[in-house]
Amino acid sequence: MAVPEEELAEVDAWYATEHTPMLMRCPQRLAVRRFAIHGELGRPYGAGVRDASAGGASGQ
């Protein structure tokens, strides 16, 4: 998913505060991952991991 640079902070916040917590409410789900993809500008985006066994999020 290509996200304009000026919207990255908003998309990252949405993933961290809304989307990932919603996915983790499913009892069968053990983890949610977002993988970094290095685009033309060399900036990684979409990175992050939330692991139910660890009780939190890591990555960025």
Q: Write down the pLDDT at residue 33.
A: 83
Characterize the bridge pairing of strands 44-45 and 37-38: antiparallel
- In this predicted structure, the answer to whether residue 2 has a pLDDT above a threshold of 50 is yes
Domain boundaries, the chain: 5-58
Tens-place pLDDT, residues 19-51: 999 999 999 988 888 876 666 655 555 545 556
- Contacts of 48-53 with CB under 8 Å at 24 or more apart are 48/12, 48/15, 48/16, 48/20, 50/20, 50/24, 52/24
